[in-house]
Amino acid sequence: MRRIVVVGASAAGLAAAETLRRQGYDGTLTLVGDEPLAPYDRPPLSKQVLAAEWEPDRLALRTPDDLVGLDLDLRLGVAATDLRLTDAAVELADGSTVPYDGLIVATGVRPRRLPGEGGHVLRTLDDAVRLRDRLTPGRRLVVVGAGFLGAEAAAVAWRLGCEVTLLEPAPVPLAHAVGTEVGEVLTRAHLERGVNLRCGATVAEVTGDGVRLADGELVEADEVLVAVGSRPNTDWLQGSGLTVGDGVVCDEYCQAARNVYAAGDVARWYNPLFGVPMRIEHRTNAAEQGMAAARNLLAPDARKPFAPVPYFWSDQYDMKIQAYGYLRGHDEVAVVEGDLGERRFVAAYRTGDRLTGALAIGMPPKAIRQWRQAIASGVNWREAVGAAEVAN
């Protein structure tokens, strides 16, 4: 294998490239990225960058010298436009063709948009800087979507002195992911600070004056942020022969086809720890999966299933939210430590008869870390919750 191409120059793609070199691969290594910038970190975009606490140069994942040391054929500012599996080649937007012996797809996601003109999204550094420059005291900001990204941006805008309206179609924000009880805790954090959180509000379009709801009401705003989820960047793979369905469909090894692997937000793989296919849009998973895909590509006879306990975090107002596991589709939530009303607790999640997740707000890291091991061990629900009740 003398030529490996990694398409996607963010956290997953960079982790894959670094792992290939660490594992001794000394052939041609091409790293393709559609943004002109060197790989940078995205989670701070909705937090420190939007709040003007960090300058953009703090986001760089590696120094220029680090990248030089990887001896990359670095193709930045040019998107991949087609994959030819039969020819083992990737076509780029500049008209060039890059052949490969091994390929890792790490093209991430792009924001979903709404009908109409205008409105910000928040995915790239340019997006964050553009919105940051508009968030001056007294400005009216409407955030469409009260998921983690929308909630983080709303919290930052409130702190900057903006008048914030947060619109969410569901009855309780994030209930589908973290449960109604925890969703209500997050709801109260917004309301107590004067954020105008409106649940059950469906936005039909973005207008020059704000947003228009499905019932015809106009919610006026100076700026609109659309945070209604994302779509995997798989358009360039249509007709390639890869199976695409809410991401690049992979097996437990992150393999999508012979000598083709996927990693990060774009990868939908079978996680044997939970027994379900999943696609995870979290920073930690991107790096871990990039490393796993690279190792499996290089050593096909010694492949290992990628079976992580997913981890994510969020900062909203004075709350630090941390979670391990796969919370979606859970059957039950139980507070196993602390108190919901004080916004200081650990909640455990049951799917079937096993512990599948844990979430903490306002707790020290050690309070949630012990649950990670229990999830990884496939502990029975009654055993896990019973042990917590004895401990408390």
Query: What digits encode the pLDDT tens for the residues 276-309?
Result: 999 999 999 999 999 999 999 999 999 999 999 9
- In the predicted model, is pLDDT for residue 270 greater than 80? yes
Residue 1 has a pLDDT of 87
pLDDT for 390 beyond 50: no
* Residue 269 near residue 251 (C-beta atoms within 8 A): yes
pTM: 0.95
Give tens-digit pLDDT for 56-104: 999 999 999 999 999 999 999 999 999 999 999 999 999 999 999 999 9
CB 105 within 8 A of CB 237: yes
Closest CA to 228 of 359, 117, 119: 119
Task: Please tell me the distance from the alpha carbon of residue 155 to that of residue 36, in angstroms, as a whole number.
Answer: 30
What is the amino acid identity at position 268?
A: R
Q: Which residue stretches of 136-224 are H helix?
A: 148-159, 175-178, 180-192
Q: Give the per-residue pLDDT at 391.
A: 54
- The arithmetic mean of pLDDT across residues 331-359, rounded, is 95
Tell me the pLDDT of the chain averaged across its residues: 95
Task: Identify the CA nearest to 203 among candidates 193, 217, 190, 191.
Answer: 217
Provide the pLDDT for residue 67.
Answer: 96
* % of the chain exceeding 70 in pLDDT: 98
Report in angstroms the alpha-carbon separations of 247 from 109, 132, 173: 9, 30, 25
pLDDT at 386 over 80: no
Separation of CA 98 from chain center = 28
pLDDT of residue 117: 86
Query: Using an 8 Å Cβ cutoff, are 127 and 46 in contact?
Result: no
Contact yes or no for 115/197 (Cβ under 8 A): no
Q: Tell me the pLDDT tens digit for each residue of 120-133.
A: 999 999 999 999 99
Strands in 229-368 per DSSP E: 230-232, 248-250, 255-257, 260-262, 267-271, 276-278, 311-316, 319-325, 332-339, 344-351, 354-361
Task: Give the burial class of 218: count Cβ atoms within 10 A of its Cβ; 0-12 exposed, 13-18 middle, 19 or more buried.
Answer: exposed
What's the pLDDT tens digit per position in 139-188? 999 999 999 999 999 999 999 999 999 999 999 999 988 999 999 999 99
Helix (DSSP H) and strand (DSSP E) numbers for the chain: 9, 26
What pLDDT score does 176 carry?
87
Tell me the C-alpha distance between 47 and 62, whole Å.
20
Question: Contact at 8 Å (CB) between 106 and 16?
Answer: yes
CA 107 – CA 334 distance, rounded (Å): 37
Q: What is the mean pLDDT of residues 364-375?
A: 91
Specify whether the CB–CB gap between 120 and 221 falls below 8 A: no
Q: Which residue has the tokens 């903490």?
A: 360
In this prediction, residue 107 carries a pLDDT of 98
What is the predicted pLDDT for the residue at 392?
55
CA–CA gap between residue 131 and residue 146 (Å, rounded): 17
Give the model's pLDDT for residue 177: 87
Six-digit token string for 218: 């106009």
pLDDT of res. 191: 96
